[in-house]
Each structure stands twice: as C-alpha cells, then as structure tokens.
Amino acid sequence: MKAKTVDKVATSIIVVLALFIVVLLLGLLGFILVRGIGQINWHFLTSAPQLLKGGGGIGPQLFNSIFLLVLTLIITIPLGWGGGIYMAEYAKPGRITSFIRLVVEVLSSFPSIVIGLFGLLLIVNTFGLGFSLLSGAMALAIFNLPLMVRTTEQAFRAVPKEQKEAGLALGLSKWKIITSILLPVALPSLITGTILASGRIFGEAAALMFTAGMSSPPLDFTDWNPTSPRSPINPLRPAETLAVHIWKVNSEGIGPDSKEIAAGASAVLVLLVLAFNLSARWIGRVVYRRMTASK
C-alpha cells in the first residue's frame, strides 16, 4: 500500500514538472509575441534605427542577418557536406577516425565567444578583413561546421546499404556512387539539417560582435555595386545583425523606445527561427517525395 502511495506521489510530481516546462515555453513564446508583435509593421521592418530619437526600425539589421546567413551557407555547405561524406564513406574505423571525431566534438563545444575572439585575432586582424560581413561569415562557418559534418554523416549513414551495393555492382566509382546515388537519397535530411543549422546561425550573436562588428554604415539600397562602401551587398563592410542589435539595444540603448524596439526585434527573430524550423520539416518532406518514388 505504501509503495503505491509513493508511486502516485512521484508520478504526480513528474507530471507537474513536465507540464511546467510546457507552460514555461508557452509563457515565453506568448510573452515575446504579445510584447513584440504590436511593434512589427512595414516601417519597423524596413527603416534604419534611430540612435537618440524614437521611431527607428531594424531594416539594415534584418538585411544583414539574411545576407550573412547566405554567405555562411556558401562557405559551410561544400566544407560541411564534404567532411560529413568523408566520415560516412571514406573513414575507416581506427585511430585517425576517432581523432577526427574528437576534433569535431571539441570544435562543437567551443563557446561561441571564443570562436568570435579567434575570428577577431586571425580573420579581422591578421588577414586584414576588418569588421566585415565576410569575417562574420567565416566565424559563423567555424561555429556551424561541426554540426553540419555530424548531420551529413548521419544522413549518409541512413541510406540503405543495398543502394550502394547496387552501384558497386554496376561498376561505378565510389565518388560516382556518392554523388549520383547516395546524395539524392540523403538530400532531404541534408536539407532539413542545413535549415535547422541556419536557424542557429540566425540567432547567434556572441561570435559576431568581434567579427562582423557592432555597427552598420548607412545603406543605399539602390547601389548594387559590390565594391562601394554604401552598397548592401558589399561583403567587406561592417554589419550589425538582428541578434547583435537586440543585445546592443538592451545593454546600451539610450533611445526613448529602446525597450519596444528590443521587444519588436526579439519577436521578429523568434518568428524567423520558428519559420526556419517549420520550413525545414516541410521542405524535407517535399524533396523526399520528389527524390523517391513514394507518395
């Protein structure tokens, strides 16, 4: 009888605490959206921030975040997918492979601020790229690569063995098998993994403060010459992203409406990350249907 009471008490404690987490999440999301969504309008999303007066927007920051994400993916996709393919298809179990695994594990556990500092030292100062979108993209690539390698390896390992054996039976080379048989099958999970990683890149700030910089020059959205300093697509200009902007407004915002701007920008950031997560699932499913015969 006593054991049963204990069981009941323990069960209800577990249930209560588990539901507490759900309530916590709903509370957090609700808070961010309720506080922030009223701020979001076309003007807020497109206009430049105001330093001292109220009424500024987050236009350049939003653009910088998206552009930085594109640059980072251009760097990480070939390197990350390549590394993952090596781990899944070429690496033989042994000392070297377990060493590479350790390297990936260590790289993914480095705090993002350490990666930002490394970027400051090597990319910004030694390579002389300065505070720029390109430096930021490189730092984010370091931040993102280990995750990418891991998801790619898992995606390739999940491909049924028969597919590879069929390719070998046809006398194809290993690289041909990888690119024309395994890659299409692994592509849905590769894309899902890449989009989920993008969500993380999008919200990252600590690694960017010292690489992409904490300011944005006034942008001229009619100037598409990539070498001009006011051009939005110039990869060598400093760029403050949305996440860095939220941090800056919160910790040193002096404008009269800095709280509201932080709330609005947080809501935009969270909505975009949610959109990434949902679209990752959706696109993964669509690509899977296209690549395979299943309906």
Partner 1 sequence: MNNKLKPRRPLREKHYWEEWTGRIYTSICVVFLIVVMFSIVYFVASKGLSTFFQDGVSLREFISGKTWNPTGEPAAYGALPFITGSFITTLLAALIASPLSLCAALFMTEIVPGKGKKILQPAIELLSGIPSVVYGFIGLSVIVPLLRSMFGGAGVGIAAGCLVLSVMILPTVTSIMADALSALPKGLRESSYALGATRWQTIYRVIIPTVLPALLTGIVLGMARAFGEALAVQMVIGNAPHVPTSLLESASTLTSVITLSMGNTTMGSVHNNALWSMALVLLVMTFVFVILVRLLERRNRV
Considering only residues 205 to 244 of the shown chain, the ones binding partner 1 according to CB under 8 A are 205-206, 209-210, 214, 243-244
User: 84 or 231, CB closer to partner 1?
Assistant: 84
User: 87 or 191, CB closer to partner 1?
Assistant: 87
* DSSP secondary structure string for all residues of the chain: -HHHHHHHHHHHHHHHHHHHHHHHHHHHHHHHHHHHHTT-SHHHHHSPP-SSSS----HHHHHHHHHHHHHHHHHHHHHHHHHHHIIIIIPPSSHHHHHHHHHHHHHHHS-HHHHHHHIIIIIIIIS---SSHHHHHHHHHHHHHHHHHHHHHHHHHTS-HHHHHHHHHTT--HHHHIIIIIHHHHHHHHHHHHHHHHHHHHH--HHHHTTT-S--PPP-TT---TTSTT-TT-TTS----HHHHHHHHHHH--STTHHHHHHHHHHHHHHHHHHHHHHHHHHHHHHHHHHSS--
Shortest approach of partner 1 to residue 188 CB, angstroms?
A: 18
Which positions from 165 through 194 interact with partner 1, judged by CB under 8 A?
Answer: 173-176, 178-179
Binding mask 125-154 vs partner 1 (x if CB under 8 A, - otherwise)?
A: x----------------x--xx--x-----
Which positions from 61 through 120 interact with partner 1, judged by CB under 8 A?
Answer: 78-80, 82-83, 85-87, 89-90, 100, 102-107, 109-115, 117-118, 120
Shortest approach of partner 1 to residue 120 CB, angstroms?
A: 8
User: 140 or 231, CB closer to partner 1?
Assistant: 140
Shortest approach of partner 1 to residue 192 CB, angstroms?
A: 12
HSE value, Cβ hemisphere, 13 Å, CA-based, for 217 = 17
Which positions from 22 through 61 interact with partner 1, judged by CB under 8 A?
Answer: 22, 24-25, 28-29, 31-32, 35
Segment near partner 1 (CB under 8 A), from 12-20, 53-61, 162-170, 216-224? Answer: 12-20
Taking CB under 8 A as the rule, does residue 161 contact partner 1?
Answer: no
Contact yes or no for 202/141 (Cβ under 8 A): no
Which positions from 234 through 293 interact with partner 1, judged by CB under 8 A?
Answer: 243-244, 246-247, 250-251, 259, 262-263, 266, 269-270, 273-274, 276-277
Shortest approach of partner 1 to residue 40 CB, angstroms?
A: 15
Candidate residues 6, 158, 168, 286; the one interacting with partner 1 per rule CB under 8 A:
6
Taking CB under 8 A as the rule, does residue 14 contact partner 1?
Answer: yes
